[in-house]
């Protein structure tokens, strides 16, 4: 399977992921996108303080040769 996926990730002030959601998908199955979003929801980042931040994560999957 190959394709592109865009995920929006909201990070809280302490670095915890508050939410992650798919914003775009081209060519990937629902099971694959659900898996990626689930893993990103479990990520932990360095504390960023303030009101937190939102980042857009672009991912490209290609077939191995």
| pLDDT per position as a tens digit, 42-60 | 999 999 889 899 999 999 9
DSSP-based three-state secondary structure for 56: strand
pLDDT at 23 over 90: yes
At 27, is the pLDDT very low, low, confident or very high (cuts 50, 70, 90)?
A: very high
* Closest CA relative to residue 59, chosen from 17, 32, 13, 16: 32
Mean residue pLDDT across the chain: 94
The alpha-helical segments, DSSP class H, found in 1-65 are 30-41
pLDDT at 65 over 90: no
pLDDT at 30 over 90: yes
In angstroms, the CA 65 to CA 58 distance is 22
Q: Are 19 and 37 in contact (CB under 8 A)?
A: no
């Amino acid at each position: 399977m190959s394709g592109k996926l865009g995920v929006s990730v909201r990070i809280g002030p302490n670095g915890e992921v508050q939410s992650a959601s798919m914003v775009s998908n081209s060519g990937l199955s629902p099971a694959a996108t659900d898996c990626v979003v689930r893993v990103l929801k479990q990520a932990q980042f360095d504390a960023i303080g303030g009101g937190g931040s939102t980042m857009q994560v672009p991912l490209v999957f290609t077939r191995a040769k």
